[in-house]
Amino acid sequence: MKKIDLKHGSFLKEMVATTSNLYRLGWDERNGGNISYLLTEEEVRPFLDVNHVIRQIPMIFDASQLIGKYFIVTGSGKYFKNVADDPAANLGVVRVANDGKTLDLLWGLENGAVPTSELPSHFMSHIARLEVDPENRIIMHNHASHLLAMTFTHDLDEKAFTRTLWQMCTECLVVFPEGVSIIPWLVPGTNEIGEATAAKMKETRLVMWPQHGVYGAGKDMDEVFGLIETAEKAAQVYTYVQAQGGVKQTISDENLWKLADAFGVAPRVGYLEEK
């Protein structure tokens, strides 16, 4: 079967649009931030010969639970601002090889490029999310500015952090009723930070990396982008509120319960005062 140019693939278009938008928003400066998108073989086959491996790339993580899975990922050291002009140099389609510790490169990552250094963290989070949500496909990391700033000024208590975001924008409780998780500061690109993030991903789709950024997960690109976008908007409002002299009134727990009932969501147990 004749292969279609990958530029016509919806998954590539999504990656290009999202990386461009993240750079436009200032959440992915320089080579900051990374995305991995779980693909099906049916999505890949119209564009690529899955039997043609360009080269193999070793990993520092055993991803045996993902053997045979396909991903489109951002490259290490690559700037999101350049993705639209040259996707093949900045992105790659890879498959986890049979040993679980090697990637088969099927497209992209030209000139010897490799996937993001955060790929072990991404894979650990994919594994964790798939255990609780078999439809999970996206892991996204960026440096959303106001959320990042909050990790310097707000108590790093998950309940308190979550409640503040819920109280800043009515939409927040509806969008992330399970709340936001927070890990300690850890060196990025290590298995240690990946393991800590993955453990939290079993409970929430948003994980804060203090003084660094945020990890988000979900079923598709719009869900994950919207998830982070909503939390970031709440953090921005919090920043304005603090600059204006602090909170004088906000959404009460009683009203948050009414909101939860109206939209059919279940707030994380213990995060709101009982009705």
Query: Could you tell me which residues are annotated as the binding site for Zn(2+)?
Result: 141, 143, 212
Closest residue by Cα to residue 273 from 257, 261, 250: 257
Task: Name every residue whose Cβ is closer than 8 Å to that of residue 268 and which is 6 or more positions away in sequence.
Answer: 162, 177, 178, 179
Task: Name every residue whose Cβ is closer than 8 Å to that of residue 189 and which is 6 or more positions away in sequence.
Answer: 117, 118, 120, 121
User: Token pair 């976008």 is at which residue?
Assistant: 229
Instruction: Single out the catalytic residue among 14, 118, 158, 223.
Output: 118
Q: Do the Cβ atoms of 101 and 63 come closer than 8 Å?
A: yes
Angle, CA 30 vertex, CA 211 and CA 9 arms, to 5°: 110
Instruction: Please state, in angstroms and rounded to a whole number, the distance separating the CA atoms of residues 252 and 274.
Output: 12
N-to-C CA span, the chain: 61
Question: 55 by DSSP, 3-state: which?
Answer: strand
Residue 118 designated active-site: yes
Question: Got the DSSP string for 178-193?
Answer: T--EE-----TTSHHH
Q: What DSSP state is assigned to residue 268?
A: P
Q: What share of the chain is helix, strand, coil (3-state, %, to 5)?
A: 40, 15, 40
Instruction: Please state, in angstroms and rounded to a whole number, the distance separating the CA atoms of residues 154 and 52.
Output: 50
Known binding-site positions: 141, 143, 212
Task: Cite the active site residues.
Answer: 118
